[in-house]
Structure 1
């Protein structure tokens, strides 16, 4: 295109004027640009062809992103392409000629660079000296979008002419499309590399559920994808909010034992706190740099460091570290790769942790299952035994292979009121308990309390049966029943004689107040024993389903007055205040007066026992919704919430060492007697504020029950 003389810098004749030669030149140049897609190759061709066609001795091209920041560059002097030039040319975008061209979007011709302040007098690596030059610079535009700036120079001042400038601008216009396409291609290749790396990482990382293996796989993928010398992984300790380093490759393992860093400390801690990927090409110049990293590695120099948070369901659970890329610097896609692997790692780690917890829970269940002192059987939904613990094998006397496969109905009798043949009652996971008998292989019959419930084991639903031996409890119950029968039958008749005798003696005594007081105490004590014996007998009968009531119409107010009169000596003895609230218009009740009187006496005696000296006891009777409501309120210490149902069981006494003595039958009798009348009894209590025992009796009980 140029004459030999022009190529040697001796003139500028031969530059094509606008016309066919000029168009042919531009056509050939654009074809050369379009023949490559690699960005760096395209940039080198643009500079080489531009230098060749205008006779320049050196040239540079600087590519910028949408924000005007340099992302790639090429510098050529003669036949030599310089390396790592982007950082060198960045300053020209701030203060030099390229920056002026970029800001003004105009080409520039400088005849003598020493006379133009826009030319920075800085030698490149291959420059001989900073001498006067001639230079042209043109913006590279695509549809009003700045792609970059191209600058060409010749060592002879005044070498370039306006024709050169026009040609450079024309070449720059053609180069813009090629550069933009190359950038898009490079970006697509980068995205492809990232997606490939992430896909490979996903396949590798999710191939295991063992936590330690998962951590090692994550590090191997980071090392491979980032091509670095060392990688490490730390998880956040939720209790201390510290980073605990769990695994590493390329790190000095001897110094890696239980390394902990506070979240927010150093570059790594900052990434964990802020949740951002950090790429630092020279960590020691970063204000967040933590010298502790030197102690965690066996590296002599940290050239570059990349840190990414590990996320799971939006929560930061740890960080990944990658140090010292083998290329000397991190590629532009490093941030995307680290972020992507961090997300994949979070999911894989969480799954492994959950699996580890599940395995641990299964192990604990297995240990509890095998070590339980009670026989435990597991059946399928049809009642076929599929598993039995050690105690079940021992107590039932079957071989494990024989027992598994038997029906649960062959082992014990169902309570048909609670367990249906299809076991639908167990489908809501609630525990159902009932008493039954266990049939062993040798024919022995053992009383048991059965606890049945539905359980889920490894995503499958089963039925669990706990068979608790209650032989000792049954023996004790039998002993108590025998004792009660003995007490009733052996003491009832002699006690009746004592009461009759005391009544006769009372009528024969002189008017000596001290003697009459003693007789009154004796009479009250024998009457109390009679009530206790009657209550014992009634409890047995009611539990056996026998009818014990002898009902008649009774004024509830009179019943309360009688009960109060009986316990009043005990109230006066403790200097307590007993207050009654009895409305005048209470309806009569169809009840057994002796049974309900004993209920009131039991409640009042308990109130006297548990109320301090000079304390207040209240008896309140009311009528609402066709029921008469009795309330006995004391000012004692109250009853714990978890004991308020249990106190109505037989032989139950709260804190038997500290509380007043008793058999624990009064409240059990009271509940049975009230329920026998179609009523309900319960207790309300607040700590240190006393208790309120309340029972209700229906007014129209006569129409509902027959005597």
Structure 2
């Protein structure tokens, strides 16, 4: 080789090596390789494709004259797979093509037509490093035969210098990207956990995704109860057009991601069948490429993260991995933020209910110290809120230790205790109250909630009712006694030969006055038993005797309705120790009640059997039955079941029966099915 040519070659290699060694950024290195090649070898354009360790194109550049064309990786992949560059990589052999129109390896494009740019000449060389191809470099001249062996040797020399430079730049870029990703993941984990406010959590997640993936727009859609996705937050270009958009369940790419629970990268949405423009596009934004990943929380998908339009034109190979990693971090934080938001809303609702309640409500610790008091507690007690906070609940009313328990055992077990007491106001007024106390969780502490319901009006009504009952009893008792005495006298003086009708009328009158007398006695017993007085004088008597007396009293009623009375008492029933008159009235009340609701021609049966130290008795009929919801309240005073065909009454009989049975230490209940 002559000295000038050697000197030129060394100068070329030196200049190329210096240019490539002065940069580590992959894009810069690729552009310098192309410019140096075109400078020393010549041509109208050049292209370079970079491969990853698996031989897949990951980066590319095209220079046309002095212009650098962007977004070319996807375009050059076809050349690598099917064109001349692909053949060079597979054979690991450089090639000089004098006339592209005569070489089948050349991938023809519309621009190669004869009426346009026509045939060309080309040189394509592999970029090798560590005995492996890391890329392919191609130069094109518009004139066939423009390149010769000297140009071919220069290209190979440049390729030898460029191979290791491209590899180093690619590794450097990958390491930078991985560092950025790791930093973003670490930063995401740290920043996302800094708050529990949902809007702040979503904003931090989106900020980290934009940093990590270098995309134009990112958005988060959460799944609604009906399965639809609703965008709750967005960041980047046209973010305001994204927020609030609703995607029906299973529709579009995001609907597929949510339903399948799998992430996806779509490098070109126009070639994707799942992409629905009416669903996946946003107003004022052209979606060209996107990546989406499901957001999981406790094993189920709660939303989708979407990254739109990478700035570089294509997503990095690990873009989906990054998006999935951030979504994994985000899932539990989003759910925690949602729970925190709901908890805050629940606390706010409780606070509003607490303050707006018409009843005084106080919150105390387990020792009874008042911690919170609503407006009504302040109004009724007369104490200022600060004064109440310095008091104990026992300063306001007399505690019922029997209901509450000495150490609040029943309250700690979750029971609600209620009792009557008197509220002592600051002005010295005594207000009757019904106290309801139970355990609540208030501001993350287990405390006691006290509702002090003013029952002044109820007490007033109870007093009026008691006065009315007493008046009825005392005002009716004497006239009724006179009527009974008169009927007894009439029965003795009425000649037996008088008409049967007169005897029947007398019988009806005596039976009716007996019923009125039992009703008055029952009203009196209800008042006595409710006030805590014991039952009257007890005696030992055969239960069958009481039953027969009750049968005698109600038989005229059942005969009139053609109903059958059946005595099903077992033999050798032990005697009972009871107030005979009271228990007789209990049985009469129950039998009369059964007769009222049993259809004509029906059967009413009374039975009894020993039950340990007790006797269990029952009255059974074939009436319409009692709904389960009413089986407890029918024993309440002045309570009657409402129905179109329900017989009239005061609603006192069954209340008397329960009080009388409980006064004897027993219990009474209903077993029935409606219908």
Query: Structures share a fold, TM > 0.5?
Result: yes
TM-score by length of 2: 0.80
Match of 1:270 in 2: 256
**What's the Cα RMSD here?**
4.8
Match of 2:366 in 1: 381
Match of 1:533 in 2: 520
- In structure 2, which of residues 451, 470, 478 is the aligned counterpart of residue 466 of structure 1? 451
Match of 1:290 in 2: 276
In structure 1, how many angstroms separate the alpha carbons of the residues matched to 2:93 and 2:445? Answer: 79
Match of 1:679 in 2: 666
Match of 1:390 in 2: 375
Please say if residues 376 and 388 of structure 1, whose CA atoms lie closer than 8 Å, have aligned partners that are also in contact: yes
**3-state SS of the aligned residue for 2:616?**
strand
Match of 2:228 in 1: 241
Shift of 1:682: 0.9
Aligned counterparts, 1:59-138, within 5 A = 64=51, 68-72=55-59, 86-96=73-83, 107=92
**3-state SS of the aligned residue for 1:323?**
strand
Aligned counterparts, 1:132-531, within 5 A = 186-239=173-226, 241-244=228-231, 249-251=236-238, 253=240, 258-292=244-278, 296-299=282-285, 301-420=286-405, 422-507=407-492, 508-511=494-497, 512-531=499-518
Shift of 1:352: 3.4
The structure-2 alpha-carbon separation of the partners of 1:275 and 1:211, relative to structure 1 and needing over 3 Å to count, comes to same
1:550 aligns with 2:538: yes
Shift of 1:571: 2.2
Shift of 1:434: 0.6
Shift of 1:438: 1.1
Please say if residues 98 and 149 of structure 1, whose CA atoms lie closer than 8 Å, have aligned partners that are also in contact: no
In structure 1, how many angstroms separate the alpha carbons of the residues matched to 2:295 and 2:445? Answer: 33
In structure 2, how many angstroms separate the alpha carbons of the residues matched to 1:672 and 1:264? Answer: 64
In structure 1, how many angstroms separate the alpha carbons of the residues matched to 2:107 and 2:456? Answer: 103
Please say if residues 24 and 172 of structure 2, whose CA atoms lie closer than 8 Å, have aligned partners that are also in contact: yes
The structure-2 alpha-carbon separation of the partners of 1:424 and 1:268, relative to structure 1 and needing over 3 Å to count, comes to same
In structure 2, how many angstroms separate the alpha carbons of the residues matched to 1:662 and 1:232? Answer: 70
Match of 1:632 in 2: 619
Shift of 1:452: 1.0
Match of 1:705 in 2: none
For residues 460-487 of structure 1, what are the alpha-carbon distances to aligned partners after superposition, in whole Å with 9 as ceiling and x for unaligned?
Answer: 2322211112222223323333333344
Please say if residues 33 and 175 of structure 1, whose CA atoms lie closer than 8 Å, have aligned partners that are also in contact: no
Shift of 1:194: 1.4
Shift of 1:40: 6.7
In structure 2, how many angstroms separate the alpha carbons of the residues matched to 1:577 and 1:202? Answer: 82
For residues 386-443 of structure 1, what are the alpha-carbon distances to aligned partners after superposition, in whole Å with 9 as ceiling and x for unaligned?
Answer: 2222222221122222222111111100112123455444223321101111111121
Please say if residues 127 and 160 of structure 2, whose CA atoms lie closer than 8 Å, have aligned partners that are also in contact: no
Match of 2:554 in 1: 567
Match of 1:696 in 2: none
In structure 2, how many angstroms separate the alpha carbons of the residues matched to 1:80 and 1:70? Answer: 22
**3-state SS of the aligned residue for 1:455?**
strand
In structure 2, how many angstroms separate the alpha carbons of the residues matched to 1:656 and 1:435? Answer: 34
**3-state SS of the aligned residue for 1:393?**
helix
Please say if residues 436 and 452 of structure 2, whose CA atoms lie closer than 8 Å, have aligned partners that are also in contact: yes
In structure 1, how many angstroms separate the alpha carbons of the residues matched to 2:211 and 2:125? Answer: 45
Match of 1:653 in 2: 640
Please say if residues 541 and 548 of structure 1, whose CA atoms lie closer than 8 Å, have aligned partners that are also in contact: no
TM-score by length of 1: 0.77
**3-state SS of the aligned residue for 2:390?**
coil
Number of equivalenced pairs = 658
The structure-2 alpha-carbon separation of the partners of 1:244 and 1:654, relative to structure 1 and needing over 3 Å to count, comes to farther
Please say if residues 230 and 322 of structure 1, whose CA atoms lie closer than 8 Å, have aligned partners that are also in contact: yes
Shift of 1:683: 1.1
In structure 2, how many angstroms separate the alpha carbons of the residues matched to 1:634 and 1:34? Answer: 107
The structure-2 alpha-carbon separation of the partners of 1:277 and 1:4, relative to structure 1 and needing over 3 Å to count, comes to farther
Match of 1:15 in 2: none
Shift of 1:5: 6.6
Shift of 1:264: 2.8
For residues 204-253 of structure 1, what are the alpha-carbon distances to aligned partners after superposition, in whole Å with 9 as ceiling and x for unaligned?
Answer: 44444444454444444444444444444433331363535555653284
Unaligned runs of 5+ in 1: 10-24, 689-707
In structure 1, how many angstroms separate the alpha carbons of the residues matched to 2:125 and 2:202? Answer: 56
In structure 2, how many angstroms separate the alpha carbons of the residues matched to 1:397 and 1:6? Answer: 109
In structure 2, how many angstroms separate the alpha carbons of the residues matched to 1:134 and 1:342? Answer: 46
Shift of 1:365: 1.7
Please say if residues 431 and 456 of structure 2, whose CA atoms lie closer than 8 Å, have aligned partners that are also in contact: yes
In structure 1, how many angstroms separate the alpha carbons of the residues matched to 2:626 and 2:500? Answer: 41
In structure 1, how many angstroms separate the alpha carbons of the residues matched to 2:620 and 2:53? Answer: 83
In structure 1, how many angstroms separate the alpha carbons of the residues matched to 2:403 and 2:652? Answer: 28
In structure 1, how many angstroms separate the alpha carbons of the residues matched to 2:381 and 2:229? Answer: 53
Shift of 1:656: 8.7
In structure 2, how many angstroms separate the alpha carbons of the residues matched to 1:537 and 1:658? Answer: 29
In structure 2, how many angstroms separate the alpha carbons of the residues matched to 1:590 and 1:372? Answer: 50
Shift of 1:48: 11
Q: Which range is displaced more, 631-640 or 368-377?
A: 631-640
Unaligned runs of 5+ in 2: none
In structure 1, how many angstroms separate the alpha carbons of the residues matched to 2:282 and 2:63? Answer: 43
**3-state SS of the aligned residue for 1:568?**
helix
The structure-2 alpha-carbon separation of the partners of 1:7 and 1:634, relative to structure 1 and needing over 3 Å to count, comes to farther
Shift of 1:629: 2.5
Shift of 1:369: 1.6
Please say if residues 190 and 333 of structure 1, whose CA atoms lie closer than 8 Å, have aligned partners that are also in contact: no
